[in-house]
Amino acid sequence: MKNKFLIISLAMSGFAFSQSVDSTCVAITSKGLNCKIKVNIDTTNVCHHHKNKTVNYVKSVVCNALTTKNTNCKLKTKHTSKKCHHHRD
């Protein structure tokens, strides 16, 4: 009985040391959340999506144009002109 426990404990400790250290990516997604992709800490801290990339965060704004009824447009846009796809020329 003691031999079985000894063999099992040795096997389990061998598995524990043979595993590589995994962690999650340290980068931030475009939505402002932490990236949850697993990476190998020994080689890099970021995943393949965030490696050698800079993420530009552009906040959405309400369209500045007027509708045909002379009311403000309520659609949101990320375009630099601050106009939605209906009101851009």
**Residue 27 included in any domain:** yes
Q: How many CB atoms lie within 10 A of CB 39?
A: 21
Q: Closest Cα partner for 81 from 57, 53, 54, 61? A: 61
52 and 68 in a single domain? The answer is no
**Residue 51 included in any domain:** yes
Q: Closest Cα partner for 20 from 46, 47, 38, 1? A: 38
Q: Quote the number of domains for the chain.
A: 2
66 and 84 in a single domain? The answer is yes
Q: pTM of the prediction?
A: 0.38
Scanning the structure block, which residue is given the tokens 């965030």? 50
76 and 51 in a single domain? The answer is no
pLDDT above 90 (res 2): no
38 and 51 in a single domain? The answer is yes
What are the pLDDT digits (tens) for 34-48?
888 888 877 788 888
The secondary element (H helix, E strand) that includes residue 17 is helix 2-18
Which residues constitute the domain of residue 82?
Answer: 58-89
